[in-house]
Structure 1
């Protein structure tokens, strides 16, 4: 499903199912369904064509027709889905013990199915009539021929302004400019290095890539024989692009050059001939796709004369093709203030003296260090008295307003939006359900996309894996701001920049894609028929959906609210996603979860961080349910027995830090579609350790479990051996010494967290069996030895290593030529580094237990830190009990070593006394047990 075509994609597959199944028994229905399938395929093709055109460039008649088709497709799918639920009959997995009851039940089911088939026949004929009407309008108004509104395509590209900025207007790029010139010169302050170098500037729209490239270009162009600065754009004309390069390089020769008679190859040959044996610099600005760049790159001859090429792009894949790329970062707070003052006051005053408290900072926070955003808001506020600033700030966003600068900013953002493939546009617009600055969990977002049918099936790939690729594409196109863990080895979530959020909220509202409730709207709610509802960060004091028609609602999201009452009405006939997350409830709250069993279309149930205490047994009736998220629901102590009926369940999360022990029912092995299982922690469930081995589709297992008996330990390891699709394994075995004999891990495992009381590193943790391991966190019962570190140093892809051990851990020497890619290392004892060890390490954390190390004659010399060439950050915990004076010496030694490191890394140093150490140990123990 996507925004442009509505539910047509999924609807077509369901109509094919109708043709292939038993529904042919109804006389005349087959021909009607065949007509619908044929006509809808034609509409689907037209809407795909419409989707490629920006909304403001569409002919008005096309826009109206497309909206009508999209709404019709949703209505049709709702009808078909309700039929599919009813015609399949009740779930035969619930057995009756009485033969007569079973017979009566079967007869009633047959009657219901027959009646439903006749109802669907009438519904199909009604739908056919509506489709015929829509098709007639398409033909009558010649929709296929009228897509683009010619008057809307003659606008000037606002990015041209960046090429002609006065150097005095630039703020915060001097350091970046110097760095790029230095990179182009290989650090020699000149560009005489002979081989051709290609450098790409990569970043989000509005960060000033063009401005920076222009500054670099002007800074070094005098050192070259010929030079060119050309822009590509979203829809490049390759012949015109090459002609522009030729003209820039030699304006006199190519002033009247006619490229019409030449093809691309001939033009490229012309360019190669021109720059052969010359020293040139060429800037290719705003490249949007790799194929175009690969073709253009063929023209650039490397004559070994020190030539340079600089590109700018918003697309990571394009930047990655260069042999060097620079990721642009937002302006610092200080530079943001300077640019804002310069654009608003001409730089004459520091800040408006009579501004409301904190408004100046709020404005800059909204801009997020993006120069384009700062300039835009400054232009809106310019000339307005400070008393009006709050009103302007609250009423205007980057998707709204009639200011010229706002309009230009919107266009620049829309360039990125309309360059997205159709399936990514829908996924991006869906993020409008979240409030500003919200930290969005990646996995949860992907499961919502799956539940909404946004993710398209691909051969040999699961839906989650496809959705993860979508997420990565949006990050690589700078539409999402990735959130990395402290280890820098993985992305766990994202935020949406305010500029992008304003844009997608506006588009969602225009397309009736998401309806956002951020204020009370009693007078208009009854007139709104949205497909998705979102309520964000507000107090809900009553059932605010009572006056709204909700039969068509597919997604209901409540985020960060304070709730007096959950929706009690049973109007969500088409609901696929129900997410009530990060919410608190008033004293006399009403959950109304007893109605869950009647939401037959539900795919996603999210109740994370809410005070619910149990799920109703009726949840077993939700045969299409794919995700249940109860993470951090602290009052849930057991899962209902009926949960084992959910054969399509793919993701289950229950428990969390400080949650009560949770019991799971017998029969969990029935959930054979399960791909992701988080349980913290499982208690008093002896059958579960055996049933776990039946969940052979698991990719992600995060479990904290108590295994008090030896047979349970053995069975648990045997069950793990059956899970050969596991990619992420987080295992905390409490009070259990696991025997790993015979266990062979899946080779695709890339994330491993292991906490046991075993004394030694398991033999299966080695680079031969785990060639793809990226993240490793281990907590064992004994101290690490030198040969363990040698084993760990052989992992070819390891980026993050964390070792949680005892206070008896002693320093170990890290040999050279080890840990080639490691970026983050956290150890419970200091390490010594030989030259060549951990050459990519950026973040180092370790703990110094002063007393035991002193008794072991450790000399507290940290000079080997200088052997870490990429070190950027050091975190040290000094446990100083009982010798504070010795701890002071350790602190001085650490500070001296960090100060003398050539990178001058950031130092975070904490000294813990005996009380702090005790509290820290208690907290760690509590965390492990919860």
Structure 2
């Protein structure tokens, strides 16, 4: 849904420009555009509410309606962009002769008049479609969708199982548990009764086992404290409920009285009173925002009795603000194998000798040390013949119905709406890709994902987006070993599976790889990513017209699978990285792609750019890294 609201966000300013600009539009056309602007704003507001609901929880009719709105906003933006290009052509050169200048002006007037006539017809058509979509919005009762999400909010959190895992079942947690325990222990020779309150934050991505680690430390140290509590917070916390939960847990040994009618202030006061003379150990699990934490912290007074608090969070900035940061790391390969065999066979020593070692290595590599991924795949393989493991691996994915996807989706739906398209966009890259930071940001800008801010450059804003995704553990940083600067990122396989699933569901990117070589004749992709080196005599894309395609990504593809540039009409991004068979002749008519913002020819054998590349007035990025080009035209 954020994809749709993002499309709206780039369309609405353009509609405003049409209304405010001096384009000599007929009054009727201006009135229709005003109507469209009003309706689009109303739909954007409705979509923002719907966007808060996980995609798989939405009613099918609401999904259909959202798709219609998306296509509508894209089509309207294409109309506006093409109109502006045609009416904003530069004036005839001042030094041209008068007869030629007069002819140019007459041609210009005719072209602009024709453009105004065409936009009037297009606007009328889109207005008719908008009225139909608006009627379906009322029919489907889209605006009331949020009222029906109580069952979603009350769903059992899959992380709850981590609290009740038997210690004997835990694998590879000993080192992290001991290190964290040591940090929590008494400082130096200072007596415990005179120690200040210490708060430690366990930070890491979803599925890494932060809750499991916190519970292991909690179980090991709880006998040393007088008051105890282990309380989950979650993505949309109700602070009053959290304070009540803490109060009820720490008050197990003392009567706390009736708490149901108390407000936040009264609960904080009661907790402070209860903890004033006690040595306590409290775990606040899964903190997402500082506002909630600051209210909770008000109750955790420092009584100089050596009390301890552990926070778990996925967000690094939250961890830094809440306390001493402990960055939880993925499991090593050896420990990953141990966990895999323990969950599958009950232990490494019980593993059959004929188990497929090569496939196991691949599975362990895919999981990248994330315990939840290892457990998920082990559960998938349990009970299946070992000769089928290879088949399972080739089709493996973390389905949207399992706990892995649910846990990861918490992070996705916590993202601000402007970051969600940036994350979904990463689905264009093949598995295990090293994604260059600067190139990625310029692609986001060309796609229109980066919103303008007064006085701040677009690249700087895009860099903030990149850092925020990294801070939220959604992308993995790649650091230069000499300068220690982050120059690239990777996407964890589990996150990639999730965003590919969501991207496909929302028709955000169409991916053609070795598994899926053909586009349906009925499909109308907006973004197309080719990830195949497959060569065939009759290319199914060669003669396919894609008038609405906005972005085309070809990663190390043979020219035989690439469509002709003439099939694109509103293309904004053209990236042909590593397409070794690309030649100068293939860029013929590149100047006709008047909406192009990004052109990537890196790692190709292109040696000369055509003269008409100068017609690309909106071009922001031209990547010629590792080409044979010596000079620009």
CA contact (8 A) 2:92 2:101 kept: no
What are the Cα deviations for residues 319-348 of structure 1, in whole angstroms up to 9, with x where unaligned? Answer: 001331101111011101110111111115
Partner of 2:389: 389
Partner of 2:171: 171
Are residues 201 and 504 of structure 1, via their aligned partners in 2, closer, same or farther at CA, if it must alter by over 3 Å?
Answer: same
**CA distance in structure 1 between the aligned counterparts of 2:94 and 2:396, rounded to whole angstroms:** 60
Secondary structure at 1:72's aligned position in 2?
Answer: helix
Partner of 2:506: 511
What are the Cα deviations for residues 766-815 of structure 1, in whole angstroms up to 9, with x where unaligned? Answer: xxxxxxxxxxxxxxxxxxxxxxxxxxxxxxxxxxxxxxxxxxxxxxxxxx
What are the Cα deviations for residues 65-88 of structure 1, in whole angstroms up to 9, with x where unaligned? Answer: 112111111111111111111121
Partner of 1:643: none
Are residues 117 and 576 of structure 1, via their aligned partners in 2, closer, same or farther at CA, if it must alter by over 3 Å?
Answer: same
CA contact (8 A) 1:173 1:212 kept: yes
What are the Cα deviations for residues 124-151 of structure 1, in whole angstroms up to 9, with x where unaligned? Answer: 1111111111112222332211344565
**CA distance in structure 1 between the aligned counterparts of 2:160 and 2:376, rounded to whole angstroms:** 16
CA contact (8 A) 2:65 2:137 kept: yes
Partner of 2:145: 146
CA contact (8 A) 1:228 1:249 kept: yes
Are residues 538 and 287 of structure 1, via their aligned partners in 2, closer, same or farther at CA, if it must alter by over 3 Å?
Answer: same
- The offset of 1:276, in angstroms, is 0.6
Partner of 2:237: 236
- Greater fraction strand: 1
CA contact (8 A) 1:528 1:549 kept: no
Secondary structure at 2:448's aligned position in 1?
Answer: coil
- The offset of 1:493, in angstroms, is 0.9
Partner of 2:542: 546
CA contact (8 A) 1:56 1:152 kept: no
**CA distance in structure 2 between the aligned counterparts of 1:19 and 1:54, rounded to whole angstroms:** 36
* Aligned residue among 438, 444, 447 for 1:443: 438
Are residues 553 and 155 of structure 1, via their aligned partners in 2, closer, same or farther at CA, if it must alter by over 3 Å?
Answer: same
Are residues 170 and 522 of structure 1, via their aligned partners in 2, closer, same or farther at CA, if it must alter by over 3 Å?
Answer: closer
Are residues 320 and 623 of structure 1, via their aligned partners in 2, closer, same or farther at CA, if it must alter by over 3 Å?
Answer: same
Partner of 2:464: 469
**CA distance in structure 2 between the aligned counterparts of 1:190 and 1:168, rounded to whole angstroms:** 34
What are the Cα deviations for residues 237-293 of structure 1, in whole angstroms up to 9, with x where unaligned? Answer: 11100000011101265687333x322111111111110121111100000111111
CA contact (8 A) 1:6 1:74 kept: no
What are the Cα deviations for residues 367-415 of structure 1, in whole angstroms up to 9, with x where unaligned? Answer: 0000000011011011111111111111120145x6xxxx111100111
**CA distance in structure 2 between the aligned counterparts of 1:43 and 1:20, rounded to whole angstroms:** 22
Secondary structure at 2:606's aligned position in 1?
Answer: coil
**CA distance in structure 1 between the aligned counterparts of 2:155 and 2:566, rounded to whole angstroms:** 49
Map 1:299-314 → 2, pairs under 5 A: 299-314=299-314
- The offset of 1:60, in angstroms, is 2.7
| 2:626 corresponds to 1:632 | yes
Secondary structure at 1:623's aligned position in 2?
Answer: coil
| 2:571 corresponds to 1:575 | yes
**CA distance in structure 2 between the aligned counterparts of 1:577 and 1:12, rounded to whole angstroms:** 21
Where relative contact order (Cα < 8 A, 6+ residues apart) is larger, the structure is 2
Partner of 1:726: none
CA contact (8 A) 2:531 2:555 kept: yes
Partner of 1:619: 613
Partner of 1:205: 206
CA contact (8 A) 2:336 2:371 kept: yes
**CA distance in structure 2 between the aligned counterparts of 1:254 and 1:390, rounded to whole angstroms:** 58
| 2:16 corresponds to 1:20 | no
**CA distance in structure 2 between the aligned counterparts of 1:98 and 1:330, rounded to whole angstroms:** 72
- The offset of 1:544, in angstroms, is 4.3
Secondary structure at 1:13's aligned position in 2?
Answer: helix
Partner of 2:246: 245
Map 1:15-414 → 2, pairs under 5 A: 15-89=15-89, 91-92=90-91, 97-147=96-146, 148=148, 152-185=152-185, 188=188, 192=192, 194-251=195-252, 253=254, 257-259=258-260, 261-349=261-349, 353-356=353-356, 358-399=358-399, 407-414=402-409
CA RMSD, Structure 1 to Structure 2 (Å)? 2.2
* Aligned residue among 472, 480, 483 for 1:485: 480
Runs (5+) with no aligned partner, structure 1? 641-930
**CA distance in structure 1 between the aligned counterparts of 2:205 and 2:296, rounded to whole angstroms:** 23
CA contact (8 A) 1:171 1:339 kept: yes
- The offset of 1:312, in angstroms, is 0.2
CA contact (8 A) 2:544 2:567 kept: no
CA contact (8 A) 2:584 2:606 kept: no
**CA distance in structure 2 between the aligned counterparts of 1:6 and 1:64, rounded to whole angstroms:** 17
**CA distance in structure 2 between the aligned counterparts of 1:484 and 1:348, rounded to whole angstroms:** 35
Partner of 1:866: none
**CA distance in structure 2 between the aligned counterparts of 1:233 and 1:68, rounded to whole angstroms:** 33
**CA distance in structure 1 between the aligned counterparts of 2:377 and 2:584, rounded to whole angstroms:** 43
Are residues 567 and 25 of structure 1, via their aligned partners in 2, closer, same or farther at CA, if it must alter by over 3 Å?
Answer: closer
- The offset of 1:53, in angstroms, is 1.1
**CA distance in structure 2 between the aligned counterparts of 1:126 and 1:342, rounded to whole angstroms:** 62
Partner of 1:420: 415
CA contact (8 A) 2:206 2:408 kept: yes
Of 519-528 and 153-162, more deviation after overlay is shown by: 519-528
- The offset of 1:592, in angstroms, is 1.5
Runs (5+) with no aligned partner, structure 2? none
CA contact (8 A) 1:182 1:188 kept: no
**CA distance in structure 2 between the aligned counterparts of 1:621 and 1:17, rounded to whole angstroms:** 23
Partner of 1:535: 530
- Greater fraction helix: 2
Secondary structure at 1:146's aligned position in 2?
Answer: helix
CA contact (8 A) 1:535 1:559 kept: yes
Partner of 1:609: 603
- The offset of 1:161, in angstroms, is 0.5
**CA distance in structure 2 between the aligned counterparts of 1:191 and 1:245, rounded to whole angstroms:** 26
Secondary structure at 2:23's aligned position in 1?
Answer: helix
Secondary structure at 2:64's aligned position in 1?
Answer: helix
Secondary structure at 1:582's aligned position in 2?
Answer: coil
TM-score by length of 1: 0.65
CA contact (8 A) 1:440 1:495 kept: yes
**CA distance in structure 1 between the aligned counterparts of 2:335 and 2:110, rounded to whole angstroms:** 73
- The offset of 1:358, in angstroms, is 2.2
**CA distance in structure 2 between the aligned counterparts of 1:637 and 1:37, rounded to whole angstroms:** 47
Of 145-154 and 496-505, more deviation after overlay is shown by: 145-154
- The offset of 1:563, in angstroms, is 3.8
Are residues 95 and 613 of structure 1, via their aligned partners in 2, closer, same or farther at CA, if it must alter by over 3 Å?
Answer: farther
**CA distance in structure 2 between the aligned counterparts of 1:200 and 1:627, rounded to whole angstroms:** 41
Are residues 207 and 451 of structure 1, via their aligned partners in 2, closer, same or farther at CA, if it must alter by over 3 Å?
Answer: same
CA contact (8 A) 1:4 1:47 kept: yes
Are residues 574 and 346 of structure 1, via their aligned partners in 2, closer, same or farther at CA, if it must alter by over 3 Å?
Answer: same
CA contact (8 A) 2:4 2:47 kept: yes
Partner of 1:599: 593
**CA distance in structure 2 between the aligned counterparts of 1:528 and 1:169, rounded to whole angstroms:** 48
Are residues 126 and 334 of structure 1, via their aligned partners in 2, closer, same or farther at CA, if it must alter by over 3 Å?
Answer: same
- The offset of 1:591, in angstroms, is 4.9
Larger Rg over CA atoms = 1
Partner of 1:556: 552
**CA distance in structure 2 between the aligned counterparts of 1:340 and 1:188, rounded to whole angstroms:** 39
Are residues 562 and 409 of structure 1, via their aligned partners in 2, closer, same or farther at CA, if it must alter by over 3 Å?
Answer: same
Are residues 353 and 488 of structure 1, via their aligned partners in 2, closer, same or farther at CA, if it must alter by over 3 Å?
Answer: farther
Map 1:693-732 → 2, pairs under 5 A: none
